[in-house]
Amino acid sequence: MKKENLVKTALIVELLNINSFFYKLFATLLFVGSQIRFRLSYVDFSLLLIGFSYIVTKKIIVNDYELSGLLSEFALILFLVFVRIENSLDIANLFEKIAVLSVPISIVLSALYLGGYYDSHHTSEKIFFIERLYFLFNEPSHYGIFLSMTLIYSMMLGRHVASFVIALGLILTSSILSFFLFIFLYLFWIMRFNVKAFIIIIVFCLLVSFMIFNVDFLNSKFSSLLATFTEEAALSSSFVRIESFFMGKELLKQIFYDAEFYNFFWGAESPEAWVNEYYLKKYGFEPAVSSSFNFFTSILLHTGFLGFTIFLIIFLRKIKYFSKKIVLSIATFFILSFTHGYAFGPLALLFLYQFFLLINLKDSEHVSELNYRRNFA
């Protein structure tokens, strides 16, 4: 199978989102395999060797560490070292086509579910008399992340009809964090960032939200979002995602101020138990899902500061490879890290791939030509 076809197959398999171990293994292998090149620079080879040595050492010293966890960590290192995007325009077109087709399919699936004809993942929250859209993802926020980044591709390429359809799907996910992700991506990659533009977009989105959404539903969303900053517990997706950032700060504090050297080298002995203890101490309850929902915190929990540093070096080198706008790219991924906590597995690789495509697409000849026409034609 040709490399470009393998990439497309990997993307489609991940979007099917079948919840089984063999599916996740197959999707991960496709993602990693679609990127592998046999020729590596000395620096890439050295980073790959360092990452592999760290994982082998971890398995030897931490005897009870699960093999599946080590394989996931090594798959991420492989992906970050090998990932290439040979034709960003073709891949962006593929994402756009999938997104445009997914919106009417999602609307039909939601209507069928409410009519009692379809039973799968659902949220039981209604928008426009239909269930919040989630396509084949496990929850609307995952679908919203996918649509947010794909909408930026479509807008970069000047596809107005496709952009409208994808934007409609994004609105119907009713994912507040996905809205904010799109706003920042738009400000960073479509127009120059300035305070006036930021205020206009925020006000516009709020007005649209109040007009088309259930106001009580929207109020509850914003209340749970604000609860994080007032240290009030609220078990919503927005709350746990933002709280996960503060969780990472607490772990760093334990590593450096409390001198917990095990956490420094290998991460938390039991990430799930550590997360439970964090919520118990701060809020007095255990969360429904004992995991972090921030990309950087997840890596820190599972690999410690040493492993985190290795991943960070490889990741920053890859950003430099894909884009000349290094500071802007780092800021973009920092925002993206608040929207999901998947650092390992096929879904994490999908969002990473979308991020690399975004920062690479901006520098592509086709997008540069479109920008030139808009500014000077």
Are the C-beta atoms of 271 and 261 separated by less than 8 Å? no
**What is the H or E stretch that residue 214 is in?**
none
Distances (CA, A) of 152 to 118, 164, 210, 304: 31, 11, 24, 34
CA distance 137 to 339: 14
Ramachandran category for residue 135: left, alpha or beta (phi over 0 → left; psi -120 to 50 → alpha): left
CA distance 358 to 352: 10
The pLDDT of residue 298: 87
- The packing angle between helices 88-114 and 160-173, to 10°, is 40
The pLDDT of residue 377: 43
User: Which of 197, 179, 192, 186 minimizes the C-alpha distance to 238?
Assistant: 179
CA distance 88 to 106: 26
Per-residue pLDDT of the chain (377 residues), as tens digits, is 565 666 666 666 666 665 555 566 666 666 666 665 556 777 878 888 888 888 778 777 776 666 667 777 888 888 888 888 877 888 888 899 989 999 998 888 777 777 666 555 555 566 666 778 888 787 888 889 999 999 999 988 888 889 889 988 988 888 878 888 898 888 888 876 556 665 666 666 665 655 555 545 555 555 555 554 445 555 566 677 778 888 888 888 888 877 666 667 777 777 788 888 888 887 777 776 667 788 888 888 888 888 889 899 999 999 998 888 888 899 999 888 888 777 887 888 889 989 999 998 876 655 655 554 454 44
Are the C-beta atoms of 54 and 306 separated by less than 8 Å? yes
Written as one string, the DSSP assignment of 100-140 is: HHHHHHHHHHHHHHHTTS--SS----EETTEEPP-TTSSSH
Structure tokens, 199: 């205020």
The pLDDT of residue 193: 54
The pLDDT of residue 64: 61
The pLDDT of residue 233: 52
Cα distance between the two ends of the chain = 42
Q: Say which residue the tokens 């699936």 belong to.
A: 109
Are the C-beta atoms of 298 and 343 separated by less than 8 Å? yes
The pLDDT of residue 113: 72
Q: Which residues of 276-308 are buried (b: 16+ CB within 10 A; e: fewer)?
A: eebbeeeeeeebeebbbbbbbbbbbbbbbbbbb
The pLDDT of residue 197: 60
Alpha helices, DSSP H, located in the chain: 3-16, 21-33, 42-61, 67-82, 88-114, 140-156, 160-173, 176-189, 195-212, 215-227, 237-256, 261-266, 271-283, 295-322, 326-337, 346-361, 365-376
Q: What are 130's strand-pairing partners? A: 127
Are the C-beta atoms of 74 and 67 separated by less than 8 Å? no
The pLDDT of residue 17: 60
The pLDDT of residue 63: 60
CA distance 239 to 220: 11
**What is the H or E stretch that residue 1 is in?**
none
The pLDDT of residue 375: 47
CA distance 143 to 123: 13
In this prediction the pTM is 0.81
Give the dihedral sign, CA 296/302/308/310.
negative
